[in-house]
Amino acid sequence: MLWETLGAARDIGRLNDIASILIRYGFGDMVRRLGLASVLERAGKVLHWKQVSELARLEPPARFRHALEEMGPTFIKLGQILATRVDLFSPEWIAEFEKLQDQAPAVTFEAICQQLQEDLGCAPQEVFVEFDPEPLAAASIAQVHRARLQDGTAVVIKVRRPGIRPTMEADLRLLARVAELIEAESTVLRRFKPREVVRQFTLSLRRELDLAAECRNAERIAHNFTDHPEIVIPKVYWPWCSERVNVQQYIDGIPGRNLDAIDQADLNRKVLAQHGAQAALKMILVDGFFHADPHQGNIFYLPENRIAFIDFGMVGRLPEHRRNQVVNLLYGMVEQDAQGVVEVLLDWAGDSPLDTESLILEIDGFVDQYHGVPLKDLDLGLILTELTALLRDHALNLPPDLALLIKAFITLEGVARQLDPDFDMVTEASPFLQHAMLARYAPEVLAKRGWRVMAGTVDLLTGLPQDLRQLLRSARSGRFQLHVDVTRLKKFGNQLDRAASRMAVGNVIAALIIGSSIVMTIKGGPTLFGLPLFGILGFIGAALGGIWLLLSIWLSGRGR
């Protein structure tokens, strides 16, 4: 029960708030199923079951989104993470999650200055000659202000909201316990892997709470675009950065949502779309380190058709083997190679129960519908959306890093198409995909791969004598054990066990028949209808055992 797993009584108040919000938005049944009602009743809390909001008449996705907003910053962030799980949720749920705006009431300027003084070790006025008391933005985790350094450089100061970490840590503890309950109690929701979702969310949120980590992410991406002057990443001013504060270059550009200002500034929309797409493809397919939240609010357009990316709190990472899989998948879709697409998806499926033949047939039909379609007419974002819908139908969940990648990719293509309705992502992606495919077989790459294999082989051969010595020592001492786990052998063993049980019952029935026959020939003892009572009971027992045995055999034959 949740009461036994609840780590501390300090979370009860927060749990009561969450349960009350869920009830108000028509999710009272969820509160009961999760056992939250009994927990709060034991703690002396009273839930008002009839206090239902007018919003409870909306569709479940909209109600859930409103409930998340009211629950506070942690749950808003959770909804934003869920918006990336296009492999788990249908489009109507994703659309609602995407409406979650990471906005919060501004913290007073005095509270911000007090925390800044603690982090800077001096009064903010000693570092900044100007400090705008009105925030540029106030989000759930941090607040942003404009300022100027002593040399006149325009910067933005991002300050973590005072006291936000303890509240979020309490919410994360509750989410972890609720996820455990969901997996234990609900077979319907178990396929969404709530514990894994909460684990990934916890890691992401704790990284985002560390504002210095955002600076490191920005510098890493800036380094990757050193030779690309069309992409601008804000400079980080490390002397004044810490876990709760970061100071970065102020980007004076046209916000991504202001399309009219782009035309007024005489910028080329087609070129901007091309630069943005190429930057995204490089981050994903070449660098393996990408901006995971590239919506229009995090993009600015600058003179000379340059693009600036800001806010690197949420990033994605793709190791080399994962990049190879993504390249194979995209290349297979662009080149209409159904078998290549299927092989990647089967790798992602892992040990998940899967109807492989059905998946192969559907993927083959999915890819074949684009056969002969000109590249310029392919909508790669739409293709990925349809592919994730197909995966949902097969209850196949993507690894979290890939779900984040697909969502970022679809978002970026949407931004590019808003700039240029005729934008063709496939044409932009094709050179990157071909280069990535050829790069695998470059001499230096093959040499590196061969060296790695050879080093592994040498390590194996070097350790072989010691492993053999240990194996022989275990065999001599009688401690050698061999474990074999074969599914078919286990099934065969179960069949043997059932056959032996039936044989034992058959022997007992035969013994009862023979024994009862002998009793019938002996005079004396209690009788029933003039026949020996124990003989009759023996025949009745044999008859019942025979009926059970026949039913068991019949039912076993039907279940084959």
Catalytic positions: 293
Amino acid residing at 130:
E
- Alpha-carbon gap, residue 396 to 36, rounded angstroms: 30
Q: How many CB atoms lie within 10 A of CB 270?
A: 13
In 41-160, where do the E strands start and end?
A: 128-131, 137-138, 142-149, 154-160
Q: Are 542 and 512 in contact (CB under 8 A)?
A: yes
Bridge partners (DSSP) listed for residue 147: 131, 155
Bridge partners (DSSP) listed for residue 146: 156
Give the end-to-end CA distance of the chain in Å, rounded to a whole number: 38
H or E element: which one contains 3?
helix 2-5
- Alpha-carbon gap, residue 411 to 208, rounded angstroms: 20
H or E element: which one contains 450?
helix 443-476
Q: Are 77 and 201 in contact (CB under 8 A)?
A: yes
Amino acid residing at 303:
P
Q: Please identify which residue in the block is written with the tokens 């985790």.
A: 141
Backbone angles phi, psi at 210, to 5 degrees: -90, 100
What CA–CA distances, in Å, run from 197 to 18, 210, 222? 19, 20, 30
SS3 527: strand
Q: How many helices (H) and strands (E) does the chain have?
A: 23, 13
In 273-332, where do the E strands start and end?
A: 289-291, 299-302, 306-309, 315-317
- Alpha-carbon gap, residue 189 to 182, rounded angstroms: 7
Sheet containing strand 254-255, strands side by side: 231-232, 306-309, 299-302, 254-255
Bridge partners (DSSP) listed for residue 308: 232, 300
DSSP state of 526: -
What's the farthest any 2 CA atoms get from each other in the chain? Answer: 121
Bridge partners (DSSP) listed for residue 144: 137, 158
